[in-house]
Structure 1
Amino acid sequence: MKTHGSDETPFSYLVKVGHISANPVDVHVEADKRELAGLAELWDVLSVEKLEADLKISRWKRDGVRVKGNVKAKIVQACVVTLEPVESDIDEDFEHIFVPEDSKLARSPSMDAGEMVLDPDGPDLPETFTGDTIDAGAAVAEFAALAIDPYPRKPGVEFEGHIEDTGENDRKPSPFAVLKDWKKE
Structure 2
Amino acid sequence: MSDFPDFHRPFDTRRLGHDPVREEIATSEGERLAIAAFLDIVAVNALSVSVAVSRWSNAGIEVKAQLRAEVVQACVVTLEPVAQSIDEPFHLTFLPPHARKVEPRTVAEAEVIVQFDEEDPPDDLEGPVLDLGPLIVEQLALALDPYPRAKGAALSDEFAAGEARKDSPFANLARLKDK
Same fold (TM over 0.5): yes
Contact 1:96 1:139 (C-alpha < 8 Å) held by counterparts: no
The one-letter code of the counterpart of 1:165 is G
Match for 1:39 among 35, 45, 68?
35
| 1:28-63 Cα shifts (integer Å, max 9, x gaps) | 001111111111111110111111110111111121
Give the secondary structure class of the aligned counterpart of 1:69. strand
TM-score by length of 2: 0.80
Contact 2:4 2:38 (C-alpha < 8 Å) held by counterparts: no
| 1:78-104 Cα shifts (integer Å, max 9, x gaps) | 111111111111111110011112212
Match for 1:72 among 68, 93, 97?
68
Identity %: 31
> Structure 1 unaligned runs (5+)?
1-6, 168-185
**Structure 1 residues 97-116: aligned runs within 5 Å:** 97-104=93-100, 112=108, 114-116=110-112
Identify the residue that residue 135 of structure 2 maps to in structure 1.
139
Identify the residue that residue 161 of structure 2 maps to in structure 1.
164
* CA shift for structure 1 position 18: 0.9
Contact 1:54 1:69 (C-alpha < 8 Å) held by counterparts: yes
**Alpha-carbon distance in 1 for matches of 2:68, 2:60:** 25
**Alpha-carbon distance in 1 for matches of 2:117, 2:162:** 31
| 1:91-139 Cα shifts (integer Å, max 9, x gaps) | 111100111122127989x953833122212101111021211112222
Question: How many residues end up aligned between the 2 structures?
Answer: 161
**Alpha-carbon distance in 2 for matches of 1:113, 1:54:** 37
Identify the residue that residue 173 of structure 1 maps to in structure 2.
none
Change (3 A) 1:107 1:49: farther
Change (3 A) 1:160 1:70: same
Give the secondary structure class of the aligned counterpart of 1:112. helix
The one-letter code of the counterpart of 1:163 is A
Root-mean-square deviation over aligned CA pairs: 2.6
Contact 2:67 2:86 (C-alpha < 8 Å) held by counterparts: yes
The one-letter code of the counterpart of 2:160 is I
Contact 1:100 1:106 (C-alpha < 8 Å) held by counterparts: no
**Alpha-carbon distance in 2 for matches of 1:80, 1:45:** 12
Change (3 A) 1:44 1:111: farther
**Alpha-carbon distance in 2 for matches of 1:8, 1:111:** 40
Contact 1:99 1:105 (C-alpha < 8 Å) held by counterparts: no
Larger radius of gyration: 1
